[in-house]
């Protein structure tokens, strides 16, 4: 079986076994697209969409006390720092949920080495938006939190 050179964590795949391990990542994490944030008084609801299975993932996050936005944003500053030291941002991964807390990594790469950095969910989403990188959601979270979008569901919502 042919394999391709890929990066897992901090190792480069150079064997078929390592390639199979990398394929496991694609089974655990699924690509999701950021749709929107709907702010409310004390929280915001973020909506992500897993296109293949047509699943909408609503995630509610409590608001902090800071409503002041600085220019340039901290995310833009992070982008410039990360690029300045020779890294690139690969994407973010939402890897664990504990009640209403969603644990998120930002994955950065330098040469052939990936590094996952634990960040807050809101920060991860903002980094993905600022840097135009993919968002990946662990399949277990999609199944637990997602809403399957069906034709009947849409029709019922439109009639309501």
Report residue 32 CA to chain centroid gap.
7
ω into 86 cis (within 30 of 0): no
Is the pTM of the predicted complex or chain greater than 0.85? no
Query: Where are the chain's structural domains?
Result: 29-159
105-116, pLDDT tens digit by residue? Answer: 999 999 989 999
The fold adopted by the segment(s) 29-159 is: Bifunctional nuclease domain (3.10.690)
Instruction: Find the DSSP H helices in 85-119.
Output: none
Please answer whether residues 47 and 137 qualify as being in contact, where contact means their C-beta atoms are separated by less than 8 angstroms.
Answer: no
Question: What does each C-alpha distance from 129 to 26, 40, 123 come to in angstroms?
Answer: 22, 20, 10
CA distance 37 to 125: 10
Residue 4 binned pLDDT confidence (cut-offs 50, 70, 90): very low
Share of the chain above pLDDT 90, in %: 49
Question: What does each C-alpha distance from 78 to 45, 72, 88, 90, 115 come to in angstroms?
Answer: 24, 10, 11, 14, 15
């Amino acid at each position: 079986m042919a394999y391709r050179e890929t990066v897992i964590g901090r190792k480069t795949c150079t064997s078929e076994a390592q390639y199979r391990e990398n394929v496991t990542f694609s089974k655990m994490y699924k690509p999701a697209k950021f749709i929107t944030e709907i702010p409310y008084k004390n929280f915001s609801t973020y909506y992500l969409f897993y296109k293949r299975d047509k699943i909408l993932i609503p995630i509610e996050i409590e608001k902090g006390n800071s409503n002041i936005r600085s220019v340039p944003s901290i995310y833009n500053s992070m982008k410039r720092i990360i690029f300045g030291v020779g890294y690139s941002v690969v994407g973010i991964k939402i890897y664990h949920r504990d009640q209403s807390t969603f644990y998120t990594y930002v994955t950065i790469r330098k040469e052939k080495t990936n590094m996952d950095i634990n960040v807050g969910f809101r920060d991860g989403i903002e980094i993905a938006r600022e840097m135009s990188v993919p968002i990946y959601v662990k399949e277990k979270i999609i199944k637990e939190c997602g809403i399957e979008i069906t034709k009947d569901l849409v029709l019922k919502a439109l009639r309501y």
